[in-house]
Amino acid sequence: MRLTKKTHACVRLEKDGRALVIDPGVFTEEDAVRDADVLLVTHEHPDHFSEERLRAGLTGNPGAELWTLRSVAERMSAAFPGRVHTVGHGDAFSAAGFDVRVYGELHAVIHPDLPRVTNVGYLVDGAVFHPGDALTVPDHPVDTLLLPVQAPWSKISEVIEYVREVKPVRAFDVHDALLTDLARPVYDTHIGNLGGAEHARLAPGASADL
């Protein structure tokens, strides 16, 4: 499987000529959803959910389908009947040759005064886990963790402890658009030295074979 990093929280996974895209948001490049067969969205915040990007993906490929939580599905299902599926924690499905399991229920706490929205994570082919905006630990071994490294709701100690708890073989940064180039070496050093897993960072558009 090939992993291609897109700006911020979006990634594209490809195998056997099929493509699965997670969290095409407002920061995401237009080509991220091109020819995508499977679209997954973890939650409704615009850096993870762009209605424009999803419409482009679903329109561009009439065979493409979307799996997401209820708040996003309600905004997309009328325009694409039969192609938008609502999922929640504990669900599992297969699509375009990818096997997906769903984990998690709530977005991480940004501040006690702000309500928490629903958030789900996706484990793809029992190997690659994207948690969205939460530090959800799946009840399944993870080879590749897509690690949200910087957010209003996190701090570096929590990120490191999350890697330790999941125990992946490797972790690739996501949720990093607001992280400055000056700060990246600091994050790289601490996560790499303390996380207990191989840690890597891909520039937007770069790929890695898993």
Global confidence as pTM: 0.97
pLDDT band of residue 82 (cuts 50, 70, 90) is very high
Distance in angstroms (rounded) separating the CA atoms of residues 63 and 38 = 9
**Domain ranges across the chain:** 2-107+117-201
What pLDDT does 99 receive?
98
What pLDDT does 89 receive?
98
Q: How far is CA 51 from CA 4, 6, 41, 64, 112, in A?
A: 21, 17, 11, 15, 28
CB 157, CB 195: distance < 8 Å: no
7 forms bridges with which residues in the sheet?
A: none
What pLDDT, in 10s, does the model give residues 171-195?
999 999 999 999 999 999 999 999 9
What SS3 class is residue 129? strand
What pLDDT does 35 receive?
96
Distance in angstroms (rounded) separating the CA atoms of residues 10 and 21 = 7
SS3 helix, strand, coil % of the chain, rounded to 5? 20, 30, 50
What pLDDT, in 10s, does the model give residues 103-145?
999 999 999 999 999 999 999 999 999 999 999 999 999 999 9
Distance in angstroms (rounded) separating the CA atoms of residues 150 and 133 = 10
| 2-107+117-201 to CATH, choices 3.60.15.10, 3.40.50.300, 3.30.750.24, 3.90.870.10 | 3.60.15.10
What pLDDT does 125 receive?
98
Q: In what order do the strands lie in the sheet with 38-41?
A: 84-86, 65-68, 38-41, 18-22, 11-15, 2-5, 207-209
What pLDDT, in 10s, does the model give residues 143-165?
999 999 999 999 999 999 999 99
